[in-house]
Structure 1
Amino acid sequence: MEIVLVPGFWLDASSWSEVTPALVEAGHRVHALTLPGLESRDAPRAGIGLRDHIEFVARKVDALEGDVVLVGHSGGGAVIHGVADLRPDRLARNVYVDSGPPAEGQPINEELPADADEIPLPPWEEFMDEDLVDLDDRLRADFIARAIPHPKAVATDGIRLTDDRRLDVPVTVIACEFPSRVIEDAIAAGEPWVGELARIRDVEYVDLPTGHWPQFTKPAELGAAIVEALRER
Structure 2
Amino acid sequence: MDILLIGGLWLNASVWDRVASALEPLGHRAVPLTLPGQGDGSVSATLDDQLATVLAAVDAASGKPMVVGHSAACTLAWLAADRRPERLAKVALIGGVPTVDGQPYADFFAVRDGVVPFPGWGPFEGPDAADLDDAARREVAAAAVPVPEGVAKATVRLTDERRFGVPTVLVCPEFTPAQAREWIDAGDVPELAQAKHVDFADIDSGHWPMISRPVELARILAEAAG
The one-character-per-residue Cα deviations of 1:98-156 (angstroms, maximum 9, x if unpaired) are: 11222111223323111122111112112241211201101001111211111122221
The aligned counterpart of 1:25 is: 25
Using the TM superposition, give the Cα deviation of residue 22 of structure 1 relative to its aligned residue in structure 2, in angstroms: 2.2
The aligned counterpart of 2:203 is: 208
**How far apart, in 1, do the equivalents of 2:72 and 2:123 lie?**
17
- List gaps (5 residues or longer) in structure 2: none
The one-character-per-residue Cα deviations of 1:41-72 (angstroms, maximum 9, x if unpaired) are: xx2312x2222211210011112231011011
AA partner of residue 193 (structure 2): A
1:63 aligns with 2:60: yes
The aligned counterpart of 1:80 is: 77
**How far apart, in 2, do the equivalents of 1:133 and 1:51 lie?**
33
AA partner of residue 104 (structure 2): P
Paired-residue identity, %: 38
The aligned counterpart of 2:39 is: 39
**How far apart, in 2, do the equivalents of 1:128 and 1:198 lie?**
29
The aligned counterpart of 1:225 is: 220
Residue 175 of structure 1 is aligned with which of 153, 172, 175?
A: 172
The aligned counterpart of 2:117 is: 120
Question: Is contact 2:99–2:156 with CA below 8 Å preserved after alignment?
Answer: yes
Using the TM superposition, give the Cα deviation of residue 73 of structure 1 relative to its aligned residue in structure 2, in angstroms: 0.7
* Secondary structure at the counterpart of residue 80 of structure 1: helix
**How far apart, in 2, do the equivalents of 1:103 and 1:109 lie?**
11
- The 5 Å alignment of 1:88-103 reads 88-103=85-100
**How far apart, in 1, do the equivalents of 2:169 and 2:141 lie?**
29
The one-character-per-residue Cα deviations of 1:69-102 (angstroms, maximum 9, x if unpaired) are: 1011111111111111111100000000111222
AA partner of residue 130 (structure 1): P
Query: TM-score normalised to the size of structure 2?
Result: 0.96
Aligned residues: 226
* Secondary structure at the counterpart of residue 130 of structure 1: coil
* Secondary structure at the counterpart of residue 78 of structure 1: helix
AA partner of residue 24 (structure 1): E
Question: Is contact 1:5–1:70 with CA below 8 Å preserved after alignment?
Answer: yes
Query: TM-score normalised to the size of structure 1?
Result: 0.93
Question: Is contact 2:10–2:146 with CA below 8 Å preserved after alignment?
Answer: yes
* Secondary structure at the counterpart of residue 171 of structure 2: strand
- List gaps (5 residues or longer) in structure 1: none
